[in-house]
Amino acid sequence: MTKAEARRQAAERISEIGAAERFIQDESIFCRLMGMRELIEAKTVFCYVSTGEEIDTRRLIEFLLGRGKSVCVPRCGDAGHMDACRIQSLDELSPKGKFMLDEPEDSCDMVEPENIDLVILPGVAFGENLSRLGRGGGYYDRFLANCKAFCVGLCREALIFDSLPERPHDVRVDAVVTECRTLQQQERN
Residue type, 85: C
Burial class (CB in 10 A: 0-12, 13-18, 19+), 3: middle
> What is the C-alpha separation between 173 and 85, in angstroms, rounded?
21
Residue 102 lies in a domain: yes
Specify if 123 maps to a domain: no
According to DSSP, residue 30 is labeled: H
Domain count, the chain: 1
Determine the residue type at 45. Answer: V
From the number of C-beta atoms within 10 Å of its C-beta (0-12, 13-18, 19+), residue 123 rates as buried
Range of the domain at 43: 3-113+129-184
Work out the angle at residue 82's Cα, subtended by the Cα atoms of residues 79 and 103, and round it to the nearest 5 degrees. 115
85 within a domain of the structure (yes/no): yes
**pLDDT value of position 187:** 56
pLDDT value for 189 = 45
> How much is the pLDDT for 49?
94
The greatest distance separating any two alpha carbons of the chain, rounded to the nearest whole angstrom, comes to: 44
Evaluate whether residue 24 is within a structural domain.
yes
Q: Which amino acid is at 102?
A: D
Intervals of the chain under pLDDT 70: 98, 186-189
What's 38's domain CATH number? 3.40.50.10420
Residue 185, pLDDT score: 80
Encoded amino acid at 21, one letter = E
pTM: 0.92
